[in-house]
């Protein structure tokens, strides 16, 4: 494999299919297939029946033959040749036979690898050897892929966010509380800080505690329905705020390095994040504010990043100019087909652990 791993858009990866033979044999075909797809499935139990919801989105499925099936009517078969430009023989002599190949990921339009409770997005390499009167021999290798983000294509990603609310206390308490929540932008990289500025007005007779949390929301779509799963990522509790006309609070998070990046460019699976800020008020329902945020891959930090617009300076009572609190989804363009095999030399998969030998053939 390439030294760079996981792979991203436009990367070309190379490898080898190794076939070990004990005695001479004839094969019908030998090929390697590169495929990418998204799958969603869940069941719902009714009173008398069970309903299965299933959806699939195929991004590509490409075959490269080392030995083509002569009886196949598929005229689109792409047959690779050896380093001397000659066709591979369908007769294998005793020993080890090595078949190099390469594939390239699309430059745009496909989502990152993902595994969730009700669905997954996977990219697989599969080598298949076929012989007469025998079961096919198969070997699969998963490929980890992290989609590249075009920062300039997501409007509002680097613009400040602002949301406010005021709540009048009822039943067991009196007065009111209000808060303004401000973020310097909606996009944050893995491993980087997220700064939350909160202006709180506590006009109730009790102390209130500001609480900030980030949670992930996975959505799966099939049959016109949606299945969701939420996971808490971070939770921080601030100091108690006594009754006062106005107080400013600053809370700083570090986005975990290993948290899944946001994924908004798959039609049947979405990974989204929310920042939730609420006031813990005694004897009352807690007022809360939710803001959509986007978690970006750490690998994109080195890219040219637009300067964020100035965040609110609560210390001076300024709120600045705030953008949309709901960042738009990434495009849903269908992927371009990956390119054909490279003519360059092919390094071995051995050191990377990706070399999978088909079982010995006798």
pLDDT digits (tens, 9 = 90+) for 48-59: 899 999 999 999
Those residues whose C-beta lies under 8 Å from the C-beta of residue 154, and which sit 6 or more positions away, are 187, 294, 327, 328, 330
Phi, psi torsion values for 311, nearest 5 degrees: -80, 165
Contact 201, 310 (CB under 8 A): no
Give which of 155, 189, 163 is closest to 328, Cα–Cα: 155
Contact 198, 170 (CB under 8 A): no
Question: Residue 13 and residue 338: Cα distance in Å, rounded?
Answer: 11
**Domain at 153-316: CATH code:** 2.60.40.640
pLDDT for the residue 345: 37
State the average pLDDT over residues 241-259.
92
Task: Tell me the domain boundaries of the chain.
Answer: 12-149+334-361, 153-316
State the average pLDDT over residues 110-131.
96
Question: Residue 50 and residue 43: Cα distance in Å, rounded?
Answer: 7
Question: Residue 112 and residue 266: Cα distance in Å, rounded?
Answer: 9
Question: Residue 36 and residue 113: Cα distance in Å, rounded?
Answer: 9
* Residue 145 reports pLDDT greater than 50: yes
pLDDT, tens digit, for every residue of 179-234?
999 999 999 999 999 999 999 999 888 899 999 999 999 999 999 999 999 999 99
What pTM was estimated for this model as a whole? 0.77
**Domain at 12-149+334-361: CATH code:** 2.60.40.640
3-state secondary structure of 236: strand
pLDDT for the residue 340: 39
Give which of 293, 198, 300, 180 is closest to 250, Cα–Cα: 198
**361: confidence class by pLDDT, cuts 50, 70, 90:** low
**Residue corresponding to tokens 């990219």:** 123
- With a pLDDT cut of 70, the percent of the chain lying above it is 79
pLDDT for the residue 72: 78
Judge if 12-149+334-361 and 153-316 fold alike in CATH terms: yes
- How big is the CA angle at 165 (ends 160 and 171), to the nearest 5 degrees? 160
3-state secondary structure of 267: coil
- To which H or E segment does residue 17 belong? strand 12-21
């Amino acid at each position: 494999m390439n030294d760079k791993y996981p792979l991203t858009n436009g990367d070309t990866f190379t490898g080898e299919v190794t076939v070990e033979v004990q005695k001479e044999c004839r094969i019908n075909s030998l090929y390697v297939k590169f495929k990418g797809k998204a799958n969603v499935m869940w069941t719902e139990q009714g009173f008398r029946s069970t309903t299965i919801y299933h959806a699939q989105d195929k991004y590509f499925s490409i075959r490269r033959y080392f030995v083509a099936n002569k009886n196949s009517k598929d005229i689109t078969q792409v047959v690779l040749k050896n380093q001397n430009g000659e066709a591979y023989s369908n007769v294998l002599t005793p020993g080890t036979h090595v078949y190099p190949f390469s594939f390239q990921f699309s430059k745009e339009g496909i989502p990152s690898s993902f595994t969730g409770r009700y669905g997954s997005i996977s990219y697989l390499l599969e080598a298949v050897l076929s012989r007469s009167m025998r079961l096919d021999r198969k070997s699969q290798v998963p490929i980890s892929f992290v989609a590249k983000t075009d920062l300039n294509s997501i409007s509002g990603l680097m613009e400040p966010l602002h949301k406010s609310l005021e709540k009048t206390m009822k039943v067991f308490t009196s007065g009111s509380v209000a808060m303004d929540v401000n973020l310097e932008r909606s996009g944050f990289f893995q491993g980087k800080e997220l700064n939350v500025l909160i202006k709180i007005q506590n006009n109730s007779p009790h102390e209130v505690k500001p609480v900030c949390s980030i949670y992930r929301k996975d959505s799966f779509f099939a049959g016109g329905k949606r299945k969701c799963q939420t996971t808490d990522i971070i939770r921080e509790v601030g100091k108690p705020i006594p009754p006062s006309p106005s107080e400013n609070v600053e809370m700083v998070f570090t986005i975990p390095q290993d948290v899944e990046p946001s994924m908004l460019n798959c039609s049947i699976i979405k990974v989204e994040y929310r920042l939730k800020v609420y006031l813990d008020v005694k004897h009352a329902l807690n007022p809360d504010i939710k803001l959509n945020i986007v978690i970006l891959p750490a690998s994109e930090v080195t890219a040219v990043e637009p300067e964020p617009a100035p965040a609110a300076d609560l210390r001076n009572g300024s709120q600045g100019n705030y953008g949309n609190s709901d960042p738009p989804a990434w495009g849903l363009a269908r992927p371009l087909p990956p390119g054909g095999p490279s003519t360059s030399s092919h390094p071995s998969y051995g050191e990377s652990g990706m070399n999978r030998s088909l079982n010995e053939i006798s």
